[in-house]
Structure 1
Amino acid sequence: MTSDATRGKDGEAPAPLCLRVWGGLGNQMFQYAAGHAAARRLGTRLLIDPLEMPLDHAAMGLDLFGIEPEIWRPEGGGLLGRLRSGSVKPKKRHRLWPGPVFMPDSFCHADGYFEIGPGTYLAGYFQSERFFSDCEGEIRALFDLSRVAPTIEPALLAAANDPASVSVHVRRGDYMTNPNATSVHGLLGRDHYDRAMALAERLVPGATFVVFSDDMQAADDLTAHWPNRVLVRDQSREQDLFLMSRCAHHVTANSSFSWWGAWLGRNPERQVIAPRQWFARDELRKVYVDELFPRGWILI
């Protein structure tokens, strides 16, 4: 029997791509954006291999955008039985893909990405807009969350829609509670956020700081002395992401979530202040990050 991944000969439709998806919402958005753009360029379908989720009941962060991806379900072979039994980790599932496999080592750069052909399995972080800038409008439409606007308190919407609003994201969570995550990502402290606030005040006269966090107590402590501050409490992650994107300007954390909040912003003149130290110092010695930041973002 001919596999779906090997079709595309003799005038048939090009073989589909398969994209490995894993990690938190921001990571999944980068991966899906890159896979969607590649499939568009090649005129083919995009299948999803949900690495950390059961194939038959895949639930991804992407669901909140109403995206209903086509899940790849591998067929046959002794490895498949071992995957289902749990004796082999799902990250080996790509070995069941009958076509070529493209796995870049780099976090935000991938030589050969624009040369892949139909029938390729993709697995990478793809954390740069360069992977999908050729279909930016489609990506913005895919990740549009306007439907959540009616669920948000009017005062918060008004704060975000203010022409002098500046979203501020304080990322804590596992960055603080998991020693391994802390050693990789590090924590941005008061000095960093105060420098970002001072710069934002110079760039945005009358700035109102709209503060988001997965640890609002920590964010409150960090920004308690700031002027014109609005704390965004008790919102879902889609409400947070939507409100971030509605703000006129942005101060991001070292977080893919707030990267997307800034990138999805609608203000063509927006100022985005991002941390140069995206990872902990020791990790930065090993990880290339330059292509993570879109042109014009200010690094401090």
Structure 2
Amino acid sequence: CKDDIRKQFSFLPFDEKKNIAIMNKMEKENSVAIHLRKGADYLQSELMGKGLCGVEYYIKAIEYIKQNVDNPVFYVFTDNPEWVKNNLPKFDYILVDWNEVAGKKNFRDMQLMSCAKHNIIANSTYSWWGAWLNPNPNKIVIGPTKFFNPINKFFSSSDIMCEDWVRI
């Protein structure tokens, strides 16, 4: 039912000039969408964010992309740009920070993430959907080995990642 799901979960066309420009740019290069959930709510959550997808995860994921993709261009989607600036080693990226995070168009970042050629996802269903809806048949998707904190007995990290995705 993969095709049916993709059809049902299609996005409205962009109507914002900045998003159209970035989408067109992403199509012409080896674009990599990196999603980081680093807001205070996530960083302090014992069940979801605390201790997961740390600096080491993102460094390894970026290095993996650099070793496997020619001339990657990184696009960072985050709820905490300061965390990225202060914690990740210096690397060139384009910060996507103009789309609303709540409201009628809160899906625009997910839509842009799906336009990238490749994805590095957080332990977040928002970035998971952005990567899954990415139509590139040759995409590399990197996701965390631990999607949920092991103390979270309701969910398992074992079956959330697609078979052909890279776990770090």
Under TM normalisation by the shorter chain, which class is it?
Answer: 0.7 to 0.9
Q: CA deviation at 1:285?
A: 7.3
Higher relative contact order (CA 8 A, sep 6+): 2
| TM-score, normalisation: structure 1 | 0.49
| Of 157, 164, 168, the match for 1:296 | 164
In structure 1, what is the equivalent of residue 140 of structure 2? 271
For these two proteins, the number of residue pairs brought into alignment is 159
Q: Give the superposed CA RMSD.
A: 2.0
1:107-186 superposed matches below 5 A: 135-147=1-13, 149-153=14-18, 154-173=20-39, 174-176=41-43, 179=44, 182-185=45-48, 186=50
Q: CA deviation at 1:195?
A: 0.7
In structure 2, what is the equivalent of residue 235 of structure 1? 99
Quick one: distance in 1 between partners of 2:108 and 2:156? 31
SS of 1:273 mapped into structure 2: strand
Quick one: distance in 2 between partners of 1:223 and 1:161? 26
Unaligned runs of 5+ in 2: 101-105
What's the CA shift string for 1:81-114, capped at 9, x where partnerless? xxxxxxxxxxxxxxxxxxxxxxxxxxxxxxxxxx
The 3 A distance-change label for structure 1 pair 217 and 269 is same
What's the CA shift string for 1:172-204, capped at 9, x where partnerless? 23212xx4xx21122422221111100011111
| TM-score, normalisation: structure 2 | 0.85
CA contact (8 A) 2:140 2:165 kept: yes
1:39-78 superposed matches below 5 A: none
SS of 2:35 mapped into structure 1: strand
SS of 1:250 mapped into structure 2: strand
Q: CA deviation at 1:255?
A: 0.4
What is the identity, as a one-letter code, of the residue corresponding to 1:278?
F
Quick one: distance in 1 between partners of 2:56 and 2:16? 35
Q: CA deviation at 1:224?
A: 5.6
Quick one: distance in 1 between partners of 2:46 and 2:17? 36
Q: CA deviation at 1:152?
A: 4.3
In structure 1, what is the equivalent of residue 103 of structure 2? none
CA contact (8 A) 1:212 1:232 kept: yes
Quick one: distance in 2 between partners of 1:137 and 1:222? 39
Report which of the two structures shows the higher radius of gyration computed on alpha carbons.
Answer: 1
In structure 2, what is the equivalent of residue 206 of structure 1? 71
Unaligned runs of 5+ in 1: 1-134
The 3 A distance-change label for structure 1 pair 233 and 284 is same
What's the CA shift string for 1:233-291, capped at 9, x where partnerless? 121332101100000000000000000000000100100000001123x4267742222
Quick one: distance in 1 between partners of 2:54 and 2:26? 24
Quick one: distance in 2 between partners of 1:152 and 1:142? 25
What is the identity, as a one-letter code, of the residue corresponding to 1:250?
N
Instruction: Say whether residues 1:250 and 2:125 are aligned partners.
Output: no
Quick one: distance in 2 between partners of 1:161 and 1:146? 18
Quick one: distance in 1 between partners of 2:147 and 2:17? 30
The 3 A distance-change label for structure 1 pair 285 and 264 is same
